[in-house]
Amino acid sequence: MKPLPLLLALLLAPLATLCANPDSKPNIILVMPDDLGYGDYACLGNTITHTPSVDAFKTQSLLFTQFHVSPTCSPCRSALMSGRHEFKNGVTHTILERERVALSTYTLP
């Protein structure tokens, strides 16, 4: 399952306001829900689950379909926040102290 394409689309939605006012700086909001896959949203083909808020948000956003995720959430988040591979960050899992970011890692915030 690939939840990140939709999440990146949600992240870049505020860029639409930049087109309306090119002198302003964009506000970028990253939304990363846990335990959701690409096919869990109605706007991406799920016929059972209803996700009207996400569906509406998708219509105002960009959709990226190529992103490679790690098998668990912490390594994926550390890679996204730093731009580095999970092994360089020191975050390789969510247990046994493998969820700690290396002190040499710079993150986006």
Q: pTM higher than 0.75 for the full model?
A: no
Where are the chain's structural domains? 4-69, 70-109
Let me know if 91 is exposed, middle or buried by CB neighbors in 10 A (0-12, 13-18, 19+): buried
Q: Which two tokens stand for residue 9?
A: 């689309």
* pLDDT by position in tens, the chain (length 109): 456 566 656 666 666 555 666 666 777 777 777 777 777 888 888 899 888 988 888 888 777 666 666 777 788 888 888 888 888 888 887 777 777 777 787 777 6
- How confident is the model at residue 14, as a pLDDT? 64
Q: Which residues contact 34 (CB under 8 A, 6 or more apart)?
A: 73
Number of neighbouring beta carbons within 10 Å of residue 93: 15
Amino acid at 79: A
Q: Which two tokens stand for residue 98?
A: 């493998």
- How confident is the model at residue 65, as a pLDDT? 66
